[in-house]
Amino acid sequence: MDYLNNCIFIDEAAFHINMKRTVPWSKIGSHAEVVIPKTRAKTATILGAISSYGVINVKVRKPRAVNQNKKRKAGGGKAVINTQSRGGTVTGHDFNFICDTMDVLDKHEKFKDCYIVMDNLLIHKNANIEKEINRRGFGCEYLPPYSPELNPIEQFWSVCKSKMKRRTLARRNVIFKNT
């Protein structure tokens, strides 16, 4: 396994209008203050796959709309408000994204026999995901827990988030446009 030449790095990141920069700017001699709105914002999960050759695949996962008025019957026959969550990325989304990414990889000879590298997140460690990766002729590797610095896609997400402007996201709803 050659970390720079035959590895595909897969991860997900959340984008929303209340994102804040990790390094704020301030005038010399004064402390920086960052005010973050406490309102809930629509959050989009973006799944990505990169290699040393560039971006392989990116997919936006929009949050599911929840009907707040919908009621269901609980075991005791009482009507209860539906507790369906808006939900983030689940194993099924991850499985589909990885399969789509492998479809892209199959089209290029240079990605033959490469390794798909992911963090230790539970949705990545599903047995079906690993079986499918191996069945398709790729290797599957997991990074050690709590080691985002070993995954180059984390720097990719950092650059993407630093380029996103709150004003642009709020005005145009950029993440959700055309998806």
Task: Please report whether residue 2 resides in a domain.
Answer: no
pLDDT of residue 43: 72
Among 34, 54, 28, which residue's Cα sits nearest to residue 153?
54
Supply 13's token pair. 């990141």
For the residues 2-16, what does the mean pLDDT come to? 83
Are 124 and 90 in contact by the 8 Å Cβ rule? The answer is no
pLDDT of residue 80: 39
The order of strands in the sheet holding 44-51 is 54-61, 44-51, 7-15, 115-118, 139-142
Among 46, 52, 47, 48, which residue's Cα sits nearest to residue 111?
52
Using one digit for the tens of pLDDT, what is the confidence trace for 109-129?
Answer: 989 889 999 998 887 888 899
Among 118, 115, 105, which residue's Cα sits nearest to residue 3?
115
Task: Please report whether residue 133 resides in a domain.
Answer: yes
Q: Burial-class residue 100 by CB neighbours within 10 Å (0-12, 13-18, 19+).
A: middle
Confidence of residue 178 (pLDDT cuts 50, 70, 90): very low
Sequence-ordered list of residues with C-beta below 8 angstroms from that of 130, at least 6 positions apart, any chain = 140
Confidence of residue 133 (pLDDT cuts 50, 70, 90): very high
Looking at the predicted structure, is the pLDDT value of residue 134 above 50?
A: yes
CATH code: domain of residue 137:
3.30.420.10
Within 10 angstroms of residue 35's Cβ, the number of other Cβ atoms is: 6
pLDDT of residue 123: 79
Confidence of residue 92 (pLDDT cuts 50, 70, 90): confident
Which domain, by its residues, includes 81? 7-25+33-176
Using one digit for the tens of pLDDT, what is the confidence trace for 35-58?
Answer: 665 666 667 788 899 999 999 999
pLDDT of residue 31: 73
Number of compact structural domains in the chain: 1
Are 89 and 123 in contact by the 8 Å Cβ rule? The answer is yes
Average of per-residue pLDDT values in the chain: 75
State how far the Cα of 26 lies from the Cα of 162, in Å rounded to an integer.
17
Task: Please report whether residue 1 resides in a domain.
Answer: no
Q: Would you mind telling me the total number of residues written for the chain in this entry?
A: 179
pLDDT of residue 40: 62
Confidence of residue 33 (pLDDT cuts 50, 70, 90): low
Task: Please report whether residue 137 resides in a domain.
Answer: yes
Using one digit for the tens of pLDDT, what is the confidence trace for 52-81?
Answer: 999 999 988 766 655 555 555 444 554 434
- Residue at 137: amino acid letter: G
Task: Please report whether residue 92 resides in a domain.
Answer: yes
